[in-house]
Structure 1
Amino acid sequence: MNADEQVFHEHRRLLFAVAYRVLGTAADAEDVVQDSWLKWSAAERSQVLDPKAYLTRIVSNLALERLRSTRHQRETYVGPWLPEPILTGGDASDAAMDAESVSMAMLVVLETLSPLERAVFVLKEVFGFSYAEIGEAVDRSEAAVRQVGHRAREHVRAQRPRFTADRSSREQATRRFFDAATGGDVNALMELLSPDVTLWTDGGGKVRQALRPVVGASTVASWFAAMGSVTYQGVEPGDMRAALAEINGGPGIVFSAPDRVIATVTFDFDAEGRIVAIHNVANPDKLRAVAEGTLH
């Protein structure tokens, strides 16, 4: 590995982290990182004083372009559009791996921002770049990005969950949900769910899923209790496997057939540890990152 490759490799994790939070899909984020490598390779690097800032500017602009071009596809998507799940792990203190910023709950909120608001919010609130640095990265004045950042921060603050249970409570609830769902125990599931729990399912028109949110503890509990006794996506109950995993910075469940991953399930919790929202991603196009098993 030559010096230029070494510099890029040192910042690759950061570049993916920025791109993924701006885009919400691992596949697009990987494409953007690869395109940023091509731009880095072609750049006159003797003029680059700060490689990290330079590479962040490249990846931010590429991610913004990609997000704007995919906006229409998301608006015309079949059923709810959910972010592409990723497996997470490693150093939880690493800013690039901040659990809340990569959670499904946060990524869903970020979907409601404009592309520019999303990029500014991610760079400022997650990665701690100054407004001057962000202005350079997205080709706007410092005053302009400051205004955009303030608007984005207020919007996110209003939309994201106010309180959430601590990690051990979430892990315990997820394990109990796992045991109840795989055992078909409706009553045990009901105990874990908030009365007005909402289930969001993303099949993308590729597999059969609910096209609208499923609301209410009894309906959601019945949905998951049936998974152990009915054929799902052509997979017989006896052939389906479920495993606990860390998904998007928190505890989740991966459902698999012998030859493929068929769904991931992640949860939002209230302060008491009850489940208030469930995100079920079953679109096979969005399960590649989990199927590959790469930790981000």
Structure 2
Amino acid sequence: MRNCVCGVDLGGTKIGIGIVDSNGKIIAKVNVPTPVKEGKQAVLDSIVKGIEDVITKANLKTSDLLGIGVGSPGPLNSKLGIIYNPNNLPGFENVEIVKFLNEKFGTNVKLQNDANAAALGEYIFGSGKGTENFVYVTVSTGIGGGLIVNGKIFEGANSNAVEIGHMTILDGGPACSCGNIGCYEALASGTALQRFAREAVLKGEKTIIKEIAGDRDIKAEDVFKAYHRGDKLAIKLVEQEAYYLGVGMINLIALYNPERIAIGGGVSNEFDTFYDKMMETVEKRALKPSLKVCDIVKAKVNDVGIVGAASLIYEK
């Protein structure tokens, strides 16, 4: 099968690498550890070996590839093809990854912030189809996302636009990992939900959440399980989660006037659980002319990190 693309999803603990066809289907995939403690070159070598392995697994040759797309945590510069110093990749600094992979494989290579790449993948192959202005929001450990404007990724002045998770939602709210307070991520991420649950349990509030978690730390999924069993604290926490998610959606609708917003990430597995409550907030407070043309939906693309990275080559 010719005319495929290799997508590389570079993460702090693992690197997902796949061969993706023009329909967004992954035809071969490998996951390799990110040997970040062994240094910059070890990470690059791991990427190269993963690409070689997945090409072999797909029964292809390098010459069959249209190119290689790389989605990476920022900060980075997509135009220069340089990854600067991501927090979750310590020591992986000032890496000219586009030049490096181009020299190794002799093919077109593109780099993009991983959240932007995921947004593009969802736009081309998932729930963004048929739109021109589209927002992708991933809600999991943190909150991230990307913006498509008139069919193109919106990057901002230096590839760091649309840090959705770091919109200020609540003045005086909880501390965020970025050093600010009251960020979207600190209030509506999976990590935030589990933090609120742990705090409530420590205060002695009556709940089955701790019973569900057992000996391990409470996770967001435990809160949702308790919610489905009618636990009063879990219901309160999930409704709070839905409220804060809704406040963020209101801001995105006001700022970008998109035709569609897609929610992905681990928390989106409970999309049907929080959707109605989230929409109560959105419908009450969003700008009506903008809300009228905007749908909020669950994201569709699986392995969006890999598919999104590949989409960088398929982008028209």
Which has a greater percent of helix?
1
Which has a greater percent of strand?
2
Q: Is the pair's TM-score, using the shorter chain for normalization, greater than 0.5?
A: no
Q: TM bucket by the smaller chain?
A: under 0.3
Normalising to structure 1: TM-score of the pair? 0.27
Normalising to structure 2: TM-score of the pair? 0.26
